[in-house]
């Protein structure tokens, strides 16, 4: 008896996204190595924590696919591209990767909608929300860097920022989580 509750197309799309999340984990891992090598241990710590978070995303896709009777395929992981040239470049690259990841997720949401696969659609909503946070987090870093002077920031400001990044929460605070009593 076939107990698979995913179309072949949906199974392949979820499997591909599982591998995309692993690629994201490698990106954060490699940028963390770059940051640590540059002396930004706070940023490195943040990026490595995030690398683990991306791996958790990968596991979510794996578990969901298995729970729906599918079987995800692990593919070779692409090598992260060029190293960042500066902290600003690092977070601009991260922002672009996150936007790309959001677009990849939206494509699967579209597919779930087309197929009326409401279970997958519901599962994917967690990622739609998560991507808002991920993009916001990268934007926050860029804003703070800009205030510190961007690429022309002084060493002391960068070290101060580095310390702050190392202590920052992993999740961005979103407007929807705030209200008049908790602005």
Residues that bind ligand FEO (CB under 6 A): 21, 24, 54, 57, 98, 101, 134
Q: Which residue is nearest to ligand FEO (CB)?
A: 57
Nearest distance, CB of residue 179 and ligand FEO, angstroms: 27
State the minimum distance, in angstroms, from the CB of residue 108 to ligand FEO. 13
Q: How far is the CB of 57 from ligand FEO (least distance, A)?
A: 4
Dihedral class, residue 88 (left if φ above 0, else alpha if ψ from -120 to 50, else beta): alpha
Instruction: Give dist(CA 135, CA 107) in Å, integer.
Output: 17
Which of 57, 153 has the CB closer to ligand FEO? 57
Give the Å distances, CA to CA, from 62 to 43, 105, 115, 146: 29, 15, 20, 38
Picking from 111, 108, 91, 105, the residue whose alpha carbon sits closest to that of residue 153 is: 91
CB nearer to ligand FEO: pick between 55 and 144: 55
Cβ closer to ligand FEO: 54 or 162? 54
Which of 176, 174, 170, 183 is CA-nearest to residue 53?
170
What is the C-alpha to C-alpha distance for residues 103 and 100, in angstroms, rounded to an integer?
Answer: 5
> What's the closest the beta carbon of residue 113 comes to ligand FEO, in angstroms?
21
Closer residue to ligand FEO in complex, CB, 98/117: 98
**What does R_g of the chain's alpha carbons equal in angstroms?**
18
- SS3 assignment, position 179: strand
Identity of the residue, 60 or 163, whose beta carbon is nearer to ligand FEO in the bound complex: 60
Helices 8-37 and 87-115, axial angle in degrees (round to 10) = 170
Give the three-state DSSP class for 150: helix
Q: Measured from the CB of residue 16, what is the shortest distance to ligand FEO in angstroms?
A: 13
């Amino acid at each position: 008896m076939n107990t698979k509750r995913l179309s072949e197309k949906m199974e392949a799309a979820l499997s591909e996204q599982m591998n995309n999340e692993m690629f994201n984990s490698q990106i954060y891992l490699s940028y963390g190595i770059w940051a640590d090598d540059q002396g930004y241990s706070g940023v490195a710590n943040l990026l490595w924590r995030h690398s683990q978070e991306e791996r958790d995303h990968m596991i979510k896709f794996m578990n969901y696919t298995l729970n729906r009777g599918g079987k995800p395929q692990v593919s070779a992981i692409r090598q992260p591209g060029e190293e960042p040239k500066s902290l600003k470049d690092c977070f601009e690259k991260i922002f672009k990767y996150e936007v790309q990841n959001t677009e990849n997720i939206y494509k699967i949401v579209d597919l779930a909608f087309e197929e009326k696969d409401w279970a997958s659609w519901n599962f994917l909503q967690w990622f739609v929300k998560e991507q808002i946070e991920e993009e916001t987090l990268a934007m926050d870093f860029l804003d703070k860097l800009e205030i510190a002077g961007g690429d022309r920031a002084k060493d002391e400001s960068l070290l101060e920022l580095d310390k702050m990044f190392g202590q920052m929460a992993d999740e961005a605070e979103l407007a929807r989580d705030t209200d008049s009593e908790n602005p």
